[in-house]
Amino acid sequence: MPVTRVSRFGLVNAYLVEEDDGLTVVDTMLPRSAGAILKAAGGREIRRIALTHAHGDHIGSLDALAAALPGVEVLISGRDARLLAKDMKLDPGEEGGKLRGSYPGAKTGPTHTFQAGERIGSLQVVASPGHTPGHVSFFDTRDGTLYGGDAFSTLGGVATTAKIYPRFPLPGLATWHGPTALESARALRALDPARLAPGHGKVVESPAAAMDAAIARGA
Ligand SMILES: [Zn+2]
């Protein structure tokens, strides 16, 4: 499958994933990005919006997109659905970290909340908590593309978000719990993805060695 990346300034990404019945949009970027996403869809029907996590630079255009797409399915993890609704309470066991980054919330709620292991069309939902408590990644089982959200970034090189990466500190600064994020980075690497399609930065082909190096560095 060709990977369709919609990007603002190369910094913040959304993706369009082709399915037999239409498109799945992965993440919605910052506010005022709905037009760019709809334009990239080129008239193809957008069936679903699947969110990796509830940070503002991933859900920013959710309301505008949902308004433009009546009947669209909106999917997010059960855990981050609460953050999307601006419920900032930590669950027992989550107090080792702190919610960081922007959680502006959205008026649009999910039509369905998912658990790890569920499928959204061809995308397998993979738990990858750490950056946020309910962060997930989506693995396209057809071609091995990993839509990794903010589990990894590729700006200034492939990095995890477990620690602050000096060449692109932003995602690391917004991470809830670094050790959990690092564990998730390992789990995603174990999927042996053919390409890494991150929330921030370019799509990286054959990312195994770069992911290994990032994990070894711990950032
Ligand atoms: Zn984030």
- Give me the pLDDT at residue 120, please: 97
Query: Taking residues 145-161, what's their average pLDDT?
Result: 97
Query: Taking residues 111-119, what's their average pLDDT?
Result: 96
CA of 150 to the centre of ligand 1 (A): 5
Please list the residues that pair with 4 across neighbouring strands. 16
CA of 58 to the centre of ligand 1 (A): 7
CA-to-CA distance for 199 and 197, rounded, in angstroms?
A: 7
Q: Please give all residues whose CB falls under 5 A of ion ligand 1, grouped by chain where several chains appear.
A: 55, 150, 174
- Give me the pLDDT at residue 10, please: 80
pLDDT in tens, 187-218: 999 999 999 999 999 999 999 999 999 999 98
pLDDT in tens, 84-108: 999 999 999 999 999 999 999 999 9
Q: What is the model's pTM?
A: 0.97
The DSSP secondary-structure symbol of 55 reads -
CA of 149 to the centre of ligand 1 (A): 7
Give the 3-state secondary structure of residue 203: coil
Spatial CB neighbours of 151, under 8 Å, sequence gap ≥ 6:
128, 130, 131, 135, 137, 160, 161, 181, 184, 185, 188, 198
- Give me the pLDDT at residue 219, please: 76
Q: Classify burial at 201, counting beta carbons within 10 Å of its beta carbon; exposed 0-12, middle 13-18, buried 19 or more.
A: buried
pLDDT in tens, 42-70: 999 999 999 999 999 999 999 999 999 99
